[in-house]
Amino acid sequence: MTTESSPAPVSNFLRTIIENDLKAGRYAQRLWAGRPGPASVRMAGSADPANIRTRFPPEPNGYLHIGHAKSICLNFGLARDYQGACHLRFDDTNPEKEEDEYVHAIIDMVRWLGFDWTHEGQTNCYYASDYFEVMYQFAEALVTAGHAYVDEHSAEEIRQARGTLTEPGTDSPWRDRPAEESLAQLRAMRDGKYPDGTMALRARIDMASPNINLRDPVLYRIRHAAHHRTGDAWCIYPMYSWAHPVEDALEGITHSFCTLEFEDQRPYYDWILARLAELGQLAQPLPHQYEFARLNLSYVVTSKRKLRQLVEEGHVQGWDDPRLPTLAGLRRRGYTPASIRLFCERLGVSKADSRIDYSTLEQALRDDLDPIASRAVAVLDPIKLVITNFPADRTEPCTAPVNPHEPDGAQRSFPFTRELWIERDDFREDPPRKYFRLFPGNTVRLKYGYIVRCTGCVKDSEGRVTEVHAEYLPDTKSGTPGASAVKVKGTITWISAAHAVPAEIRLYDRLFTDAHPDSGDKDFLTLINPESCRSVQGWLEPGVQAEPGVTWQFERLGYFVADRIDSRIDQPVINRATTLRDTWA
Q: Which residues are catalytic?
A: 59, 294, 304
* Among the listed residues 223, 294, 516, 556, the single contact to ligand ATP using CB under 6 A: 294
Helix (H, G, I), strand (E, B) or coil at 333: helix
Residue 42 buriedness (CB in 10 A; 0-12 / 13-18 / 19+): buried
By the rule CB under 6 A, 295 interacts with ligand ATP: yes
Q: Please select the residue that binds ligand ATP; options are 53, 68, 323, 331, rule is CB under 6 A.
A: 68
User: Rule CB under 5 A: which of 53-112 touch Mg ion?
Assistant: 59
CA distances from residue 331 to 181, 340, 455 in whole angstroms, order as listed: 55, 10, 45
Q: What pairing do the DSSP bridges indicate for beta strands 125-127 and 148-151?
A: unpaired
Q: Which of 42, 70, 202, 229 binds ligand ATP (CB under 6 A)?
A: 70
Intra-chain end-to-end CA distance of the chain, in Å: 37
**Nearer residue to Mg ion within complex by CB, 59 or 582:** 59
Which residue among 51, 54, 71, 124 contacts ligand ATP (CB under 6 A)? 71
- Smaller CB distance to ligand ATP: residue 169 or 337? 337
Shortest reach from residue 294's CB to Mg ion, in Å = 11
Minimum distance from CB of 310 to ligand ATP (Å)?
13
Spell out, one character per residue from 12 to 51, where the chain touches ligand ATP: x when CB under 6 A holds, - when not: ----------------------------------------
Q: Residue 259 binds which one of ligand ATP, Mg ion, none, with CB within 5 to 8 A depending on kind?
A: ligand ATP
| 3 state SS for 67-127 | HHHHHHHHHHHHHHHCCCEEEEEECCCCCCCCCHHHHHHHHHHHHHCCCCCEECCEECEEE
Closer residue to ligand ATP in complex, CB, 190/304 = 304
Pairing of strands 465-472, 382-387: parallel
Cα separation, 169 vs 161, in Å, equals 5
CB of 38 to ligand ATP, least distance (A): 23
Q: Which stretch binds ligand ATP (CB under 6 A): 15-23, 64-72, 371-379, 562-570?
A: 64-72
Query: What single-letter DSSP state applies at residue 467?
Result: E
Q: Which residues pair with 47 in a beta bridge?
A: 31
Among 36, 37, 38, 58, binds ligand ATP (CB under 6 A): 58
Closest residue to ligand ATP: CB criterion: 67
Please identify, using beta-carbon distances, which residue of 95 and 114 lies nearer to Mg ion. 95
Under the binding rule (CB under 6 A), the answer on residue 302 touching ligand ATP is: yes
Q: Residue 57 Cβ, how far from Mg ion at the closest point, in Å?
A: 8
Q: Are strands 491-492 and 443-446 parallel, antiparallel or unpaired?
A: parallel
| E strands, 430-500, in order | 443-446, 451-459, 465-472, 491-492, 495-496
* Site stretch for ligand ATP (CB under 6 A), options 19-27, 57-65, 112-120, 385-393: 57-65
* CA 320 – CA 99 distance, rounded (Å): 17
- 425 Cβ contact partners less than 8 Å away, ≥ 6 residues apart: 381
Q: Please list, residue by residue across 404-424, b when 16 or more beta carbons sit within 10 angstroms of its beta carbon and e when fewer do.
A: eeeeeeeebebbbbbebbbbe
Question: C-beta of 59: minimal distance to ligand ATP in Å?
Answer: 4
Of 492, 469, 470, 283, give the one whose Cα is nearest residue 379: 492
Q: Is 238 in the site for ligand ATP (CB under 6 A)?
A: no
Q: Which does 484 bind (CB under 5 to 8 A by kind): Mg ion, ligand ATP, none?
A: none
Nearer to ligand ATP, 58 or 95 (CB): 58
* Contacting positions for Mg ion (CB under 5 A): 59
* Contacting positions for ligand ATP (CB under 6 A): 57-59, 67-68, 70-71, 258-259, 294-295, 302-304
